[in-house]
Amino acid sequence: MVKSYLKFEPSKSFGVVASSHSNLVWSSKGKSGAGQAVVASNEEVLVWDIKKGELLGRWREENCRAKVTAIAQSRIDPDVFAVGYEDGSIRLWDSKIATALVSFNGHKSAITILAFDKSGVRLASGARDTDVIVWDLVAEVGQFKLRGHKDQITGLHFVEPDPIVEGGEEEDGEQALMALDSEGTEGFLLTVGKDALIKLWDLSSRHCIETHVAQTNGECWALGVSPDFSGCVTAGNDGEMTVWALDIAALASSAQRVDLTQTVNFLHDRGTLHRHSKERAVEVMFHPRHDYFAVHGVEKSVEVWRIRTESEIKKGLARKKRRRREKLAKEKKTDDDLDMDDADDITKADISDVFVQHVIVRTSGKVRSVDWATGHGSKDLQLLVGATNNLLELYTVAGKEKLKAKGDVPDYSKALAVELPGHRTDIRSLSISSDDKMLASAANGSLKIWNIRTQTCIRTFECGYALCCAFLPGDKVVVVGTKEGELQLYDVASAALLETVSAHDGHAIWSLQVHPDGKSVVSGGADKTAKFWDFKIVQEPVLGTTRSTPKLKLVQSRILKVTDDILSLRFSPDAKLLAVALLDSTVKVFFVDSLKLYLNLYGHKLPVLSMDISYDSKLIVTSSADKNIRIWGLDFGDCHKALFGHQDSILQVAFIPHNSDGTGHHFFSASKDRTIKYWDADKFEQIQRIDGHHGEIWALAVSHTGTFLVSASHDKSIRVWEETDEQIFLEEEREKELEELYESTLTTSLEADADAQDQDREVAAASKQTVETLMAGERIAEALELGMADLAVLDAWHAARRTNPHMAPPQRNPILVALGGPSAETYVLNTLQRVKAAALHDALLVLPFASVPPLFTFLDRFARRAMNVPLTCRILFFMLKTHHRQIVASRTMRAMLEGLRASLRAALRRQKDEMGYNIAALRVVGMQIRERSVREYVDEHWEEGEREREGRAIKKRAFANVS
């Protein structure tokens, strides 16, 4: 009989505040509440309430394992977010219902930047594959792919100037008509890449109209565009920032002209600014409502720069002119030398007179991303900062108007932070309490106690560089071994440090374990000793009183000296043996009572990093930096099996206490290759591979009931994997792994062929073959085959009925009968409608040319019966464009197209008339509503007051036009 096992599935994930591989977005929700931070958490997106530090939402798709690499929010609909992933896919999420609305696939590698246009109907995406794709969010398709950069895209921004209507004295009707025409333009796109180029693309003609070298010192890493589009800032290496003036008026007027000469330049280099830091830049973020922008690199600071007002620039120029005049007077020169200076012309001002550094905000960790927090109520500038050490902070920065004296330095303060729900550094050790309800996680500088069921952090302790930890019997005290050679005891209930013992004279404590009887603990370190510590309750006097209080102490009882550093040690569950792994790649097994050597285990080529003993004390499993797992018998010390377990060092192994057989011979291994594997130590077979982590897995802990395990990784996440009722059969697992490998290689080979023809073109189709599109294409081909066969059967039956009217209906395909007997047209149309709009073009590319005539046959029938005319037109035009040469060369296809054109025109004419009638009816209804509306109580002066207030606000927020 085939042996079956139970599957472990991902259950919970926690411990991440914000991942360092994506930007963050500030979202202001409601007038009363504080804002929200939308951040990446490995493959998920988290929504944090900054004020309360609470997790409000978690967005994740079940089948998505790729990391989130970019996030953008729609300006029109604040509930819509675009999220880019490492595998090149993009999903649109609705934050209200935490559901992915649509998925796009067009890039071959990780998305680096996303941007919505002004109207919120288009999305531009840039990726590491050097391509920029513009997506139509209404039709849910990729419009086109722009190629021109030679390295990854690091910034992009839509530039959509308001239409300029020339000739103000013309009649209103003509002006409106021109404005209507100008609205038809698709605007422009500004992009920068790591190749140090800045490009301006005309989206109407779909080509690059201007290219400049953005950074003179190598690479361009960030782009910031001012809200009024008057200019932009690019940033690169060595703290260098280039300021560009964008001639927005010329750009708006050029949209209507076709006779543009090549000499017109819309981007003008205004000069270079130098940041305080010499690190490479990561982001440049302009404030949406004030004259400030923030720029940061990978250091622990954010620089806030201010754009001076026109009056300040003029004052500065006048001051310079006055100093120059005084200098020339000393040198006895005339004022004629001053004609080059003009205090009234701010466009001639040096760029350092226009932009000044406002303040440098020092942060708690290295900055990964920032966003301006434009909340309600606060008049100060607020900056949301996401750090690389799993931290979110909100800083309040005083603006220029708050400064009292001229020489005052602007102040800033940390207003809020989200830091408790995660560690600042990698977790090095995990321990589960005896009742499986609490989890202790230890890292460099912190120890945290978690409630496993609710995933909340109960306690946080400051500790040294923790390397190992364990719950003591009773689950009230946690012991931690540190790199400094100290054993630290923490009381969970009182959140206090009970005692610190200098155990190994400043040498790292690599491992510790509580004795099975719960009365002592053993610690092994780099000082080549294993020390045994007994628990003693000592009555300590309370200072200033005669009372005493009981206190737990560690008292050293015995010491075991070995020949090399101890990396791991384990008691056998029957408490008879102690296994010690040494730095010389050997494992020595000692008797616990006499500390005499029992066994020497030789075989690993590199040091053993972890080991565990089965719960019947018969097997010991060791894992090493040589990527091998070895299973040994504890009776004679013979190696039962050596398994090549992982692709990198195996950091942890752990037996399950009770498996379904009751032998307890199943174990888990965790490695630097980001995977956990489930093994059968009796059959020496891999049962299951568990993927999910995005970094090296440093720690692993199995629950005492054996129903779940917990792992901690370099990606800062703590994940819980629970045993399910689903059975695993080893043959099926191997087949599934082979299928995944085949599918990944299949799609990459298809991509290589498909893109070869478009490689040298500036514009290409935004297509990408995935397993989903291949399956959709196969379903369409099967539906066409079945539909044509059904049409042939029905045509034969109708022909036979002319001679024999009483002939019985033919036997139709069982699939159609099972679906309720729909017509062949309905069945094919339903198959086409089920394909996602974003994947339809790629699915149609899978079809061979032999399937095109049957497809056109059905398109003709759809057109005649007016069945989903938009979809019919879309498929028809795409297939005509794709197979143009073969269709033109075929006579039969030409006749088919003639009939199709007549049917389609008739259907489109009917739809056009219907839509025109409906629009006219809606206008009439609108007029009737306006006539019937009550106007007696309307304040006549209210609109004028609103206009005045808006005018004042616009003047107040106007950017200094530096172009």
DSSP 268-311: EEEEEEE-SS-SPEEEEEE-SSSSEEEEEESSSEEEEEEEPPHH
Q: CA 956, CA 958: separation in Å to the nearest integer?
A: 6
User: E-strand spans in 160-239?
Assistant: 188-193, 197-202, 207-213, 220-225, 231-236
Sign (positive/negative) of CA torsion 498, 502, 506, 508? negative
List the one residue out of 599, 400, 450 whose CA is nearest residue 15. Answer: 450
Chain centre to alpha carbon of residue 832 = 31
b/e per residue 232-252 (b: at least 16 CB within 10 A): bbbbbbebbbbbbbbbbeebb
Q: CA 133, CA 145: separation in Å to the nearest integer?
A: 4
Q: CA 125, CA 763: separation in Å to the nearest integer?
A: 15
Cβ of 278: how many Cβ atoms within 10 Å?
12
Q: CA 88, CA 740: separation in Å to the nearest integer?
A: 18
| DSSP code at position 337 | G
User: E-strand spans in 755-862?
Assistant: 763-764
pLDDT for res 255: 67
**CB under 8 Å to 151, separation ≥6 — which residues?**
130, 193, 194, 195, 219
For every residue of 670-701, which 3-state class applies, written as one string?
EECCCCEEEEECCCCEEEEEECCCCCCEEEEE
User: Around 284, how many Cα atoms within 13 Å sit in the side-chain half-sphere?
Assistant: 30
pLDDT for res 174: 45
- Please report, for residues 111, 497, 545, 546, 551, the alpha-carbon distance to residue 541 in angstroms, rounded to integers and kept in the order given: 63, 17, 8, 7, 10
| CB distance 236 to 217 below 8 Å | yes
Q: CA 559, CA 893: separation in Å to the nearest integer?
A: 91
Order of strands across the sheet that contains 68-73: 68-73, 80-85, 89-94, 99-105
What is the SS3 assignment for 324? Answer: helix
Cβ of 82: how many Cβ atoms within 10 Å?
25
Helices 824-834/852-864 angle, 10° precision: 110
Taking the chain (963 residues) in consecutive chunks of 10 residues, what is each chunk's mean pLDDT?
Answer: 80 92 85 77 91 89 89 91 92 90 89 92 92 90 89 92 56 44 71 92 88 86 90 88 87 68 76 86 89 90 88 80 81 55 59 84 92 75 90 87 66 88 93 93 94 92 93 92 93 89 91 92 93 88 80 90 94 93 94 92 93 91 94 91 92 83 81 93 90 92 92 94 88 82 69 52 76 85 89 86 82 84 87 86 85 87 85 87 83 81 87 92 92 62 59 46 45
Phi-psi region of 139 (alpha: psi -120 to 50; beta: other; left: phi over 0): alpha
| CB distance 868 to 833 below 8 Å | yes
b/e per residue 930-957 (b: at least 16 CB within 10 A): eeeeeeeeeeeeeeeeeeeeeeeeeeee
| CB distance 690 to 717 below 8 Å | no
Beta bridge partners of 600: 588
| CB distance 374 to 289 below 8 Å | yes
Q: CA 564, CA 622: separation in Å to the nearest integer?
A: 18
Helix (H) or strand (E) holding 951: helix 942-957
List the one residue out of 718, 709, 715, 693 whose CA is nearest residue 421. Answer: 718
List the one residue out of 757, 766, 765, 779 whose CA is nearest residue 843. Answer: 779
List the one residue out of 876, 915, 882, 917 whose CA is nearest residue 897. Answer: 876
pTM of the model: 0.84
Beta bridge partners of 350: none
List the one residue out of 937, 938, 921 whose CA is nearest residue 929. Answer: 921
| CB distance 499 to 470 below 8 Å | no
Show the tokens assigned to 814.
Answer: 């069982």
Q: CA 270, CA 264: separation in Å to the nearest integer?
A: 17
